Amino acid sequence: MGSSAKKKKEKKKDFQKPKLKVGKAKPKPSNFTDTSFRSKALVLQQQLAEDAPNPIERFKHNLSLTSSRSDTQRRDALSYLAGQLSTNPPTNPVGTSTLLHKLLPMMSDSSGPVRGQLLKLLRNLPADEVRPHVEKIMLYIRGTMTNISQEVKDDGLNYMEWLLDVAGEDVVSSAGCWVKPLRDFMSVLGWTVKSTPATTTKSGWTSAPRTTFGSKKYGQSFPRQMLILSKFLETGFKSGSPTPWTNDWSNNIGCVPRTPDPFGYIGLFKPPRDEEGEIYRNREDRQDIFQKRFRAAIEVGADMAKKEGGMAGRAAATLDQVLKDGMGDYEQISRLDNDEHLWAGYIM
């Protein structure tokens, strides 16, 4: 009997219609938690142990991560290094020279957060340990300022401002660090003097000046470029600190030079430099080459930028004032020299 009853129930299932639910679903309570998600497994390549690496090994490990392909890893590694350099006393087991050799190529990194974190790290480096590497740092800054990406160019200005704050006098008096950066500024700003003989006056300035009207991309970059140029020129036109040497040559023998490579300008053991790679140690030499190659174009560019008004006009006014303050005495000295030559010719 039991088996026949079971067969009858199974036959009835074939002819039963499913009951369909009609209407709205029952509202879920306010404290309902959805548990239908699936969590991914986290795999650690190296488990933490009680004998964790010491701070020196961690510093070197994060320094090696700055070459990672991941933008996040590079940014986090720079953040860790910057935190170690900001401690008191700072933690830097590899030295500033090794650190700069590893990190300077990152100035042109494609990731904006990485470049921003690198700038924070550079600001934590001791100024005395940065000054001997000014020439090498300037090579990378110049490459960043002339990069094809506008964002990288803008960060290049930030690097330049940092270096001027840390070692401004060493920057303008190092080999190739006066004329070449000025040439880069002229290229970025679009203030290039034509090379034809008939364009030696202000009218010889390029016929395609940089403007900011209708440009959101360059609207803030253009004034910023003029402000950093003003700071660079102000540093170069500033009178250097007096040399603590006396007229007695016997006492000068025992004095220690205050600048790196003090006799480098002689060029005894180096190939001869051209005008752009020359060392311009004093203010007068920097004024001479500036007057010869850049002043006319910068003055015309600043005048046209002032006509725009706004941020560009204010930045151009600052640049114009720096030119007046830095080159005002140069004109007076030039007039005195001309008068002396004329008076000497009259006497003869």
119-140 confidence digits (pLDDT tens) = 999 999 999 999 999 999 999 9
Instruction: Say if residue 197 is preceded by a cis peptide, omega within 30 of 0.
Output: no
Mean pLDDT, rounded, for 238-248? 54
Determine phi and psi for 317, rounding to 5 degrees.
-65, -40
Range among 21-30, 122-131, 262-271 with highest mean pLDDT value: 122-131
Mean pLDDT, rounded, for 336-340? 48
Contact 122, 164 (CB under 8 A): no
Kindly report, residue by residue over 60-103, the tens digit of the pLDDT: 999 999 999 999 999 999 999 999 999 888 889 999 999 999 99
Q: Which residues contact 211 (CB under 8 A, 6 or more apart)?
A: 222, 308
Confidence (pLDDT) at 7:
81
Encoded tokens for 267: 């060029």
Is pLDDT at 322 greater than 80 in this prediction? yes
Confidence (pLDDT) at 227:
96
Is pLDDT at 49 greater than 60 in this prediction? no
Between these two residues, 4 and 92, which has the higher pLDDT value? 92
Contact 187, 143 (CB under 8 A): no
Mean pLDDT, rounded, for 252-277? 60
Is pLDDT at 208 greater than 80 in this prediction? no
Is pLDDT at 252 greater than 60 in this prediction? no
Between these two residues, 196 and 26, which has the higher pLDDT value? 26
Q: Place 206 in a pLDDT band, splitting at 50, 70 and 90.
A: very low
| Residue matched to tokens 């590497």 | 133
Helices assigned H by DSSP within the chain: 2-15, 55-64, 71-85, 96-103, 112-123, 127-130, 134-145, 150-172, 179-189, 221-237, 249-252, 283-293, 295-308, 310-347
Is pLDDT at 292 greater than 80 in this prediction? yes
Provide, rounded to the nearest whole percent, the portion of the chain with pLDDT above 70: 73
Confidence (pLDDT) at 148:
92
Mean pLDDT rounded to a whole number for the chain: 80
Mean pLDDT, rounded, for 22-41? 77
pTM above 0.75, yes or no: no
* Nearest C-alpha neighbor of 94 from the set 127, 61, 71, 65: 61
Is pLDDT at 253 greater than 80 in this prediction? no
Between these two residues, 323 and 88, which has the higher pLDDT value? 323
